[in-house]
Structure 1
């Protein structure tokens, strides 16, 4: 019973260490996934406003941006300077602030967008008079969802009917697109007189190189006069994400240290009590010929075995508890490997440290002194 309780003490300490690192790590991963979904690694390049003559980005500006090493995706939109109406009988001047934008087919992947219903523009639809509505634009125009197999709704743009094939989800970091109607790049050229020059280039890059990409992006998309191109600053969500990572790392270290300290104190206390309770056993072994080194080894090995068994049990218990709680919360489970291996290794080292003093104390007992204890 004493051995079981000793192992239980250290296992609780190690399990606590894994739980207090694994559960926050799972929570952190869920938070970081939500922040990443907002588009923390996205930049927006567009001409400086109020230029005379207006700055026209090259038609292949998005392709030029993709040549930057850390850039993973790039796409573009362009203002067609047309208005959208609910029907051909609507007031042409009552556009409700909805912009009609030409959009490249890979736009959603570049802005972390998603489709609420229907589908986005593709190679098979971008050449025809089809549109995708931003979340807010769809509400203003009175459209809710696109039902598969049903009659597709239509909108009236520049004296021509366009079929609505999709409605986008809300996009907090690109709210301007929520209030827009997106037309295929080729369809805008064919039906709306679009000249092919993008208005805005969206770039997605690796987060650790976002500032470097921002510094070279103007000269990449407009080499003639880079100073006439405005680049958005990295999202505040990226700064929040980095602060979150740092805060959680500090928390992990602090809690893990406290858990190991508590476990070590428990083992040391157990072994000291064991020496006091087993003085007669120590005296009998000394009387039968055991030397001090053998006594020290006995108690030191016991402390290490108890700590190691407790560490293994605690690692298993902490892993199961973390997996269960993460599944209950709907988080992606994260079991820090360093916590598991460090916990087991730490238990071994704690066993050595905790067993040193009790083993030395036990070895210093003389046979007569130990056997005289009642």
Structure 2
């Protein structure tokens, strides 16, 4: 006579058996899954927000370009502040690959005020720059309101305010009746700029035409920053000769920079911070796994009679082990799915509030769900093994 083969558990039976413990103890299941959900949500949100921020930086770099180089005076051998030659712009423009050149010059001891009733000591940290009319095209600065300086307005008391300068002065629009006090003289606000990522010095400044600055504010004509644009492939070559070309007599007194490097550094710093926060999310996920393990251990202790009855009716150790392991996996999967959805929602909401494109890398969701399965398997392994090893008589004798 052939021996009786033990019954097999089909996948549907495994899922239904694993869901029994969750349905009978819903509050405990929800609280345990919440720990997993918090960990996964933290990981997805951190990566999503960081990716969205980097996407916004990449979009900014793509729109503004990475081929902007700046030349500014450094220090002399004695430590004094150097000056660029008056012909620095013209000399830089002679470099073959350079496509466009513009400049600004700081007008010393020229403060900006909203009215003439503000004490002179309260400058608000604002500067005044003489600017060329082609500055906006070269730097990629964009207008928020009004117009930019042209050949006509650059000779008259007209001013364009940087984004931060306008905010500090309480100027929200450009109009003929809107005026600010620049160096003791009233200038009409003809325009307001948006924040300029590649030229942040413009944000906190009042920008007046080069001729008007010389005629009305005593500007000496020396540029303090020269901006150049060239083809991407020629940036390195232009950068290597820019200092010597701008000031042939003292190239060591010239500083050459690439403003887009600051945004790239910001992106790198953001990636390092993301790795740190991912560690925090991993810790939260670990804590959630401990909660699942605790729930499963208590479940085994509370259901010893059920386990003994199942064993007495013919369930094998493998059946019992599979049931409790499936319950742990279901619990973790529910928490992981909820956490992934919550993290995606947080990312989308925060990105929308900042005006960023919402970006959630697919590997984040896949990795998060894989992490929940791993945590669930590890958390349920010991309780499942312990339940399967209970002798039926001992389990049934448990009060």
**For residues 289 and 254 of structure 1, what CA distance do their matches in structure 2 show?**
46
**For residues 383 and 146 of structure 2, what CA distance do their matches in structure 1 show?**
72
**For residues 248 and 78 of structure 1, what CA distance do their matches in structure 2 show?**
35
Matched with 2:133 is 103
Describe how 1:148-227 pairs up with structure 2 within 5 A. Answer: 165-168=190-193, 173-174=200-201, 178-182=205-209, 200-202=225-227, 216=240, 218=242, 227=251
Matched with 2:114 is none
**For residues 66 and 350 of structure 1, what CA distance do their matches in structure 2 show?**
58
Matched with 1:362 is 387
Matched with 1:293 is 318
Describe how 1:223-238 pairs up with structure 2 within 5 A. Answer: 227=251, 230-232=254-256
The one of 257, 270, 273 equivalent to 1:248 is: 273
SS in structure 1 at match of 2:132: strand
Matched, 1:44 2:70: yes
SS in structure 1 at match of 2:374: helix
Q: Say if 2:325 and 2:384, in contact at 8 Å, map to a contact too.
A: yes
Provide closer, same or farther for how the CA distance between residues 273 and 176 of structure 1 changes in structure 2, counting only shifts above 3 A: closer
Deviation of residue 242 (structure 1)? 6.3
Deviation of residue 14 (structure 1)? 3.5
Deviation of residue 19 (structure 1)? 4.8
Provide closer, same or farther for how the CA distance between residues 299 and 14 of structure 1 changes in structure 2, counting only shifts above 3 A: closer
Matched, 1:16 2:38: yes
**For residues 172 and 306 of structure 2, what CA distance do their matches in structure 1 show?**
81
Q: Say if 2:136 and 2:142, in contact at 8 Å, map to a contact too.
A: no
Provide closer, same or farther for how the CA distance between residues 320 and 216 of structure 1 changes in structure 2, counting only shifts above 3 A: same
Matched with 1:76 is 102
Q: Say if 2:328 and 2:380, in contact at 8 Å, map to a contact too.
A: yes
Q: Deviations over 1:166-219 (max 9, x none)?
A: 3557879426993542259xx99xxxxxxxx987422589xxxx9x79963626
Deviation of residue 12 (structure 1)? 1.7
SS in structure 2 at match of 1:289: coil
Matched, 1:303 2:328: yes
Q: Say if 1:9 and 1:267, in contact at 8 Å, map to a contact too.
A: no
SS in structure 2 at match of 1:133: strand
**For residues 195 and 274 of structure 2, what CA distance do their matches in structure 1 show?**
32
Deviation of residue 336 (structure 1)? 5.0
Deviation of residue 272 (structure 1)? 1.1
**For residues 267 and 176 of structure 1, what CA distance do their matches in structure 2 show?**
52
Say what the alpha-carbon RMSD is for the aligned residues: 5.6
Provide closer, same or farther for how the CA distance between residues 151 and 271 of structure 1 changes in structure 2, counting only shifts above 3 A: closer
Deviates more, 1:49-58 or 1:259-268: 49-58
Deviation of residue 356 (structure 1)? 0.8
The one of 344, 353, 360 equivalent to 2:369 is: 344
Q: Deviations over 1:276-316 (max 9, x none)?
A: 12222222222232222222122112211221122112322
**For residues 190 and 374 of structure 2, what CA distance do their matches in structure 1 show?**
64
Q: Deviations over 1:121-157 (max 9, x none)?
A: 4xxx558866652439x99xx9x78756x6999xxxx
| Structure 2 segments unaligned to the other structure (5+ residues) | 1-22, 77-81, 111-126, 180-186, 214-221
| Structure 1 segments unaligned to the other structure (5+ residues) | 68-72, 85-96, 154-161, 189-196
SS in structure 1 at match of 2:290: helix
**For residues 264 and 52 of structure 1, what CA distance do their matches in structure 2 show?**
63
The one of 92, 98, 103 equivalent to 1:61 is: 92
Deviation of residue 77 (structure 1)? 1.9
Matched with 1:259 is 284
Q: Say if 2:55 and 2:356, in contact at 8 Å, map to a contact too.
A: no
Q: Say if 1:283 and 1:368, in contact at 8 Å, map to a contact too.
A: yes
> Structure 2-normalised TM-score?
0.58
**For residues 52 and 350 of structure 2, what CA distance do their matches in structure 1 show?**
14
Number of matched pairs: 321
Provide closer, same or farther for how the CA distance between residues 11 and 253 of structure 1 changes in structure 2, counting only shifts above 3 A: same
**For residues 9 and 335 of structure 1, what CA distance do their matches in structure 2 show?**
30
**For residues 244 and 32 of structure 1, what CA distance do their matches in structure 2 show?**
14
**For residues 97 and 40 of structure 2, what CA distance do their matches in structure 1 show?**
42
Matched with 1:94 is none
Provide closer, same or farther for how the CA distance between residues 283 and 213 of structure 1 changes in structure 2, counting only shifts above 3 A: farther
**For residues 32 and 54 of structure 2, what CA distance do their matches in structure 1 show?**
32
Deviation of residue 352 (structure 1)? 0.4
Q: Say if 1:300 and 1:352, in contact at 8 Å, map to a contact too.
A: yes
Q: Say if 2:159 and 2:207, in contact at 8 Å, map to a contact too.
A: yes
